[in-house]
Amino acid sequence: MKALLMYRDRDFDLQGELPPNLEALTQDLELNTLFNAMAREDKFLFEVARRAVLSSLDDLDTIRYRQDILRDCIKNPAVVRRIYSVAQEAIESEKKVYWGFLSRYPATILSRSIEVLQMFVGKLKALRKIADEYADAFESEGFSTFFGMLKEELSDGYFADIQDHLRELKFPSGVLVSAELGEGFKGAQYTLHKPQENKESWIKRITAKREPLHTFAIADRDESGARALSELKDRGINLVASVLAQSTDHILSFFTMLGTELAFYIGCLNLYEQLDQLGEPVSFPRPVTSSERRHSFVGLYDVCLALTMKAQVVGNDLSADNKDLVIITGANQGGKSTFLRSIGLAQLMMQCGMFVPAESFCANTCRGLFTHYRREEDTAMNSGKLDEELSRMSDIADSIKTNAMVLFNESFAATNEREGSEIASQIVSALVETGIKVFFVTHLYEFARGFYDKGMENAIFLRAERQTDGSRTFRVSEGKPLQTSYGEDLYKRIFGTDY
């Protein structure tokens, strides 16, 4: 049995490889805020959310497959949480079944396996009951396949057969084992047999003549004899104990994977409920292939900022289809970095099959998301800030592929305007020519103006809005680069006077 709630044809790999730049992504996009909201202090949910979000998909069918399943989850949250609870209870109950210090003996393995399997049967029946009651309320391919599998494989006949086998494996009439004499007159070819069913009436069984039986009895204090008999029994049941243990492991793996895959959707539900309480909109994005250039949205906001502030935040609109380069300039503390972070968060959320924090959103997938943000001064640095920035850029260049996306935030500003602009221009030109989408927040006027003057059809220029009185709207709209970032506004706000 397989849950298949993350992929159509395979299980979700919780140990799968993560991107090499995961630390930079986590820091620059403040992803831990997102993961904590999804986890609600559950370490397992946190890890599943982290793995799922950072393991970006490039396959549109799988993204849509997860989106449809998540839609079902949002429509039926109580049922989904109930299924998850059944899976988690099964996993935790299995851990509580004690092995004991005789765990290597077949009899102990068999006894524990029977107890675990008996418990699993109860949990499987609970899943079957949920499928019978609520399957019609789910529309996605993933849940339809899942419930169909439960109904087909967990039939009443299946449960009856399991109960019969479990009763027999308790050997109420003793263990029937045959053996042959091997070398040195030692036992060999130990074989467990199914006890013969006696269909005679009880009167015939009492009155019938029987052949003499060859039996022996072990004295109460004959420990060696008891041990030898126990070893004979273990040899007889060894194979069936091994097979039953494998069966319990198989069912445990099903519950484990079901719990793992549902954990992603439980995390999404947790996030959805928190954003709904804040009154923030979400929508399911429309992804297109990585070779296209689409990026348009309405009301896109920084989900991590909303979660941190526990309030609604300003959203932005953008139509940047057929654009490879987006340069954002404008007033200090005008919302540029927040806008850039919202771009990265929405991209990751879209490419793992989640909803996005926007009223509507359409973008191409990318073959890897990279961030290059300005870092604070570090006394442990062995070289200057510019060298450190160039080193990180070199690492990105070693890993990046065509149709990837890079988010730059105030990069290459550690030197003078002319040198920083020249470095940024050469790097961005090379990236765009290679087919990589670039978003660049900058105060380097020469750099921004240089690209603006080229009149590139595949570039768009945005500017953080500033009111005439110096106040910020925290919105970003299309506009040509300006030579000032209005730093005097901040000075006035802090010191209350002109400088």
Residues 262-289: pLDDT tens digits? 999 999 999 999 999 999 999 999 999 9
Query: What is the percent of the chain where pLDDT is above 70?
Result: 78
For 467-492, the pLDDT digits (tens) are 777 778 889 999 999 886 555 544 45
| φ, ψ dihedrals at 409, nearest 5° | -130, 105
- The Cβ of residue 74 has, within 10 Å, a number of other Cβ atoms equal to 17
What pLDDT is stored for residue 147 in this prediction? 96
Radius of gyration of the chain (CA): 33
Lowest pLDDT segment from 105-114, 188-197, 293-302, 442-451: 188-197
Element (H, E) at 326: strand 325-330
Q: Which residue has the higher pLDDT, 226 or 10?
A: 10
Lowest pLDDT segment from 172-176, 255-259, 292-296: 172-176
What's the CA gap between 193 and 213, in Å, rounded? 18
Mean pLDDT of 7-32: 94
Mean pLDDT of 392-417: 94
pLDDT band at 383 (very low <50, low <70, confident <90, very high): low
In contact, 386 and 374? CB cutoff 8 Å: no
Lowest pLDDT segment from 4-13, 149-158, 407-416: 149-158
Q: Which residues contact 342 (CB under 8 A, 6 or more apart)?
A: 300, 301, 302, 303, 316, 357
Element (H, E) at 227: helix 223-278
